[in-house]
Amino acid sequence: MRLGRSRPLVSIAVLAVLALGADACSSSPSNSHSGASGSAVPASAAADTVKVASAPTFGNVLVNSVGMALYTYGPDRGHNGMSNCSGSCAQAWPPLTVPAGTAPTRGTGVTGTLSAVKQANGTYQVTYDGLPLYTFVQDSASDQVTGNNVAGFSVAKPASSGSSTATSSSATTSTTSGRY
């Protein structure tokens, strides 16, 4: 193979890496840190969508596949997994999503119920015990939890093992419309 013929392949590979790097800085999937855009990138099949990690001051908290803290939003309670965070809210608090037809996966210590609920915008947002999960754009490192008690958001904590089903994990399609 001549060097000249491999250039298109190298160029494509470089562009793919750059595109993935840009998406990782500006998206909210389960396998990357979230940013301001809130766009979704498919989750890695090898990574757990939701894990448990220890955070200074907070103890055990839920985190995404790259260790960024996850949050719940108070106004989402009682809405069957539908998000009430849209527009500028979703820019600051990007939803944790998975591709359509993909069940979120749990890491060790995640004892609550994980699901993926189809939101009004067509994305599948991961829920934990019925509450949609979000990251926070101001968390810039995996040990940060800067969004707790900010604008109605609270850091998500694992359910006690006695209060939730440890084996439930399913993709759910919801046709309920929400304010997303």
User: The tokens of 22 are what?
Assistant: 């840009």
What is the count of structural domains for the chain?
Answer: 1
Q: Is residue 152 part of a domain?
A: yes
**pLDDT of res. 14:** 31
* 54-68, 97-111, 150-164: least confidently modelled range: 150-164
Is residue 122 domain-resident?
yes
Residue at 18 is within a domain? yes
Average pLDDT over residues 123-151: 96
pLDDT for the residue numbered 107: 94
Percentage of the chain surpassing pLDDT 90?
59
Per-residue model confidence (pLDDT) at position 143: 84
Measured distance CA(23)–CA(108) in Å, rounded: 27
Residue with tokens 């908290």: 61
> Tokens 């046709």 belong to which residue?
175
- C-alpha 47: how far from chain center: 12
Residue 145 inside a domain? The answer is: yes
The whole-number average pLDDT for the span 3-19 is 36
Rounded to an integer, the average pLDDT of 140-159 is: 95
Instruction: Judge whether residue 171 has pLDDT over 50.
Output: no
Phi, psi for residue 161 in degrees, rounded to 5: -60, -20
Q: E-assigned strands of the chain?
A: 51-55, 59-63, 71-73, 97-98, 114-118, 124-128, 131-132, 153-155, 169-171
3-class DSSP state of 3: helix
What average pLDDT does range 59-71 have in this prediction?
Answer: 96
Mean pLDDT of the chain: 73
Residue ranges of E strands in 27-123:
51-55, 59-63, 71-73, 97-98, 114-118
178 inside domain: no
Average pLDDT over residues 82-89: 96
Per-residue model confidence as pLDDT tens digits over 106-118: 999 999 999 999 9
Examine residue 156 and state whether it is found in any structural domain, yes or no.
Answer: yes
Residue 177 lies in a domain: no
- Does this model's pTM top 0.75? My answer is no
Q: What is the pLDDT of residue 159?
A: 86
| Cα 71 → chain centroid | 9
- Its domain, for residue 70, covers 3-171
Most confident of 1-10, 25-34, 110-119, 157-166: 110-119
Q: Is residue 179 part of a domain?
A: no
pLDDT at 66: 94
Per the DSSP assignment, residues forming a β-bridge with 153 are 73, 150
